[in-house]
Amino acid sequence: MATKDLCADKAATPDAFSEVVPELLERHLRHLLEDTGLDLDIIRERKYRSIVCKAELGRLGFASSQQRVPGLLIPLWGVDGQAAGYQFRSDKPRTNAQGKVVKYELPAGSANRLDCLPRCQKGLGNPKIPLWITEGSKKADALATHGACAISVTGVWGFKGKNEFGGVTFLADWDHIAVKDRKVYLAFDSDIATKEPVRKALSHIAEHLRRKGANLQIVQLPQLEGQAKTGIDDYLLKHSLAEAEALVGEFRLEEEDKERYVAGFILRDGTVGEMVVDDEDRYFMVASNGAVKKAYQYETPKAIYLPTSDLLVGHVVHFAPGASPYDSQARLFAEIRRFIHYYLELPADFEEIASLYVLLSWVYEFAPSIPYLRVIGDWGTGKTRFLQVVGSICFRPMFASGATTPAPIFRILEQFRGTLVLDEADFKDSTAWAEMVKLLNNGYRPGMPVLRADKENGKWFPRGYQVFGPKILSTRFQFSDEALESRCLTSEMMPLTRDDIPRVLPQSFDAEVGRLRSKLLTFRLNNLCRLKGKTFGNELLEPNLQPRLQEILIPLKAMLNGDGAMVEALGNFVHRLQESLYARRRESDAGRVLSAMIELNTEGAELTSRSIATKANRLDEEAPELTPERVGHLTKRLGFAKDRIGKNRQRTIRWETERAKRLCSMYGIKDDSPVSPGKPSAPSEPSALDTNPADGFGAAFSNRPPSEAESAVLADGFTKSPANRPPNPKAKPNREADSADGSDGLRRGKAALGDDEVPGPSFERTI
């Protein structure tokens, strides 16, 4: 029957109205009596009624999308005894944009009010009468049926509202209620044990009532069988009010749920689980007690781990399609290097560093810090290809670009804990750049979260986002932030000279990536916990290297197990990086001022802002001119004090030898002889892996990828040859690398990564 017919003729509807309560359909009355447990006098006092006409809801202020008749209209009563509005409970509720069923509707623009039956309103001011607070009018009516003085909030956060200035405050309705020294029962639904927003709401209202002096009693309702959650009305159907009072207990923040949907996990007992995504099938490969097995879920006494169903998986974040065996770490490294060499043209030493970085990314959690891998260059030089090739075989690669805002990057890193692959990381927007600098400067070391304020239910809460992990970046320019620049292992991309490199990635590329990821997953499962116990002593320190650069070098060195050739090559590479940073500092305005001060002091000249400016401008005539005013500001920033001398009380810069020595160390300036900031000091020795020191590219530009025999390496995965090129194909393979392979896919020789290490302290987290 049409709605207009229902409105015109109640008697004609198949859903007949009740003769006992004429305002209610029979089924609505049965619901209130049998499902909620209300008395007839409570139903009449509340003035419940059934609505079968959309127009009636429209007159009460409900929007057209809310007018889903038939349904139950619930009048609300204020704590002042006056009518306070309406709620509508549709028999066929709508679903909002977030996919949530809207069980109760409020007219648009309705303000939050505390709800109280008229019979209970009389007892609100008497602190000797226990007060019950629950969620929803029907539940408060169930309490009133059992003789309780009860009020309700419309939703778990309904005890708050906006004032005339738009600020969120506790409702003024609370002023009508005496709570000091009063026994107050809080009876929220049983989902306080499983839903964090409900727990937070309960904690807030409990804190407010305690401040007001209430004798607070929190009722913890049991989960009744066959129900998603239990309300106080459900409980009172079969129990008394006294039994409900006996459920009072200390409120504790329990685990939200035993089921945890994660991308992987590491447990205290050394168990490692990693999600696999294969043809829409998702499961874990779990390494425990020396065995690797497949599991669709992994259960512990405290949790059940299940593969995440997040929509980003496979589109933004990528996983291995399985776990495959590999012969040895040496052969795995060689395979990674051949893959990179086939698709990219890189300097030889950087090709090996990139290959090592891929291995490091799969076990990065063991490292005390981790550098970033970066390529720099103009458009058309292959920066994006580098990210595609190297990034795709790193651990859980998460691809993003400089067009992405920082906010989702914080959250993706926190959720998936993988390798951030960021293209065009030169953020032009100053706000976005400031946020990304925080992320990148904090993300090289564990335990340094980025703090943000997240809004939830109209309230701001501080939250820390863990952003530690490997990162691969491409930029057109150097970073202006020197601290960030010093955390990057950088190579400049140049136009291709090799004809054998595919200009377009072939269809086989994804299959190659999948095969490598599967082997690297096995490498992770076999070695992560073993490496977690690795110690980092002073033997890993590189002589004459700044502490910041020591930090980024140590995890790479730790993967090498003492191989001399590659340790030396890595050291030379990082020393060249340090010299590049020194050159930037020397050529900065502060570096020019310091160099000028050193020369003037060596000459015995007076140090004034004018004399320093003159000397600095003479030392580098191509640099922007420095004024005495600018020099005065820079000497203050460098920490030099000023004196006044002579009759004219002329200002001079006080020379401090100890400070000057320390600054020279920071800026890479020799303090025993004049230094021109425009002329860098002698370059570091070329890498032991370079065959052509003039360009440092070596055989990486040979027009073929290294063969397996050429890439035979020790267990650290690097060539023993001092020349950085794929070895002669006629050379004998390194038998030490190829012969002694353990059952876990790693060599048993003493150079095998992690074989001689003892697992470290226990740890547990989901990842």
Other C-beta atoms within 10 Å of 445: how many? Answer: 14
71 Cβ neighbours under 8 A, 6+ residues apart: 50, 51, 88, 89, 90, 91
DSSP-derived secondary structure for 532-544:
HT----GGGPPTT
DSSP letter (8 states) at residue 730: T
pLDDT interval class at 767 (50, 70, 90)? low
End-to-end CA distance of the chain: 56
pLDDT interval class at 457 (50, 70, 90)? low
670 to 448, 504, 591: CA distances (angstroms): 35, 49, 12
DSSP letter (8 states) at residue 207: H
The SS3 of residue 332 is helix
Q: What would the pLDDT profile of 143-170 be if each residue is shown by its tens digit?
A: 999 999 999 998 888 898 887 777 778 8
pLDDT of 356 reads: 87
- Counting other chains too, the contacts that 40-47 makes at CB distance below 8 Å and 24 or more residues apart are 42/117, 42/141, 42/144, 42/145, 43/141, 45/117, 45/118, 45/119, 46/74, 46/75, 46/77, 46/117, 46/137, 46/141, 47/23, 47/75
pLDDT at 5 over 50: no
d(CA 178, CA 333): 73
- CATH class as words, domain 111-257: alpha beta
Per-domain boundaries in the chain? 1-108, 111-257, 259-307, 329-523+537-579+688-739, 588-667
Other C-beta atoms within 10 Å of 153: how many? Answer: 24
d(CA 712, CA 61): 78
pLDDT of 502 reads: 94
pLDDT interval class at 258 (50, 70, 90)? confident
Peptide bond into 624 cis (omega under 30): no
Instruction: For residue 581, give the H/E element and its range.
Output: helix 564-587
Topology adopted by domain 588-667: Arc Repressor Mutant, subunit A (1.10.10)
pLDDT at 20 over 60: yes
For the entire predicted model, the pTM comes to 0.53
Q: Parallel, antiparallel, or unpaired: how do β-strands 291-295 and 281-288 relate? A: antiparallel
pLDDT of 427 reads: 63
Q: What would the pLDDT profile of 24-55 be if each residue is shown by its tens digit?
A: 999 999 999 999 999 999 999 999 999 999 99
Contact 577, 353 (CB under 8 A): no
Q: Which residue reads 């190829």 in tokens?
A: 738
Q: Which residue reads 């059952």 in tokens?
A: 743
Three-state SS sequence of 478-523: CCCCHHHHCCEEEEECCCCCCCCCCCCCCCCHHHHHHHHHHHHHHH
Other C-beta atoms within 10 Å of 208: how many? Answer: 16
Of 736, 599, 741, the closest CA to residue 671 belongs to: 599
d(CA 68, CA 89): 9
d(CA 750, CA 740): 10
CATH of domain 329-523+537-579+688-739: 3.40.50.300
Q: What would the pLDDT profile of 578-601 be if each residue is shown by its tens digit?
A: 777 788 888 889 999 999 999 999
Residue 282 or residue 462, greater confidence? 282
624 Cβ neighbours under 8 A, 6+ residues apart: 589
Residue 712 or residue 183, greater confidence? 183
pLDDT above 70 as % of the chain: 80
Instruction: For residue 646, give the H/E element and its range.
Output: none
Phi, psi of 464 (to 5 degrees): -100, 130
The SS3 of residue 101 is strand
pLDDT of 733 reads: 37
CB neighbour burial string for 478-508, b if at least 16 within 10 angstroms, e if fewer: bbeeeebbbbbbbbebbebeeeebeeeeeee
Residue 471 or residue 538, greater confidence? 471
Residue 196 or residue 563, greater confidence? 196
**HSE-CB for 241 with a 13 A CA cutoff:** 17
Domain 1-108, CATH number (from 1.10.10, 1.20.5, 1.10.3470, 3.90.980): 3.90.980
pLDDT interval class at 287 (50, 70, 90)? very high
pLDDT at 4 over 80: no
The two three-digit tokens of residue 71, written as one number: 């349904």
Of 1, 103, 7, the closest CA to residue 52 belongs to: 7
d(CA 261, CA 282): 11
100 Cβ neighbours under 8 A, 6+ residues apart: none
pLDDT of 684 reads: 34
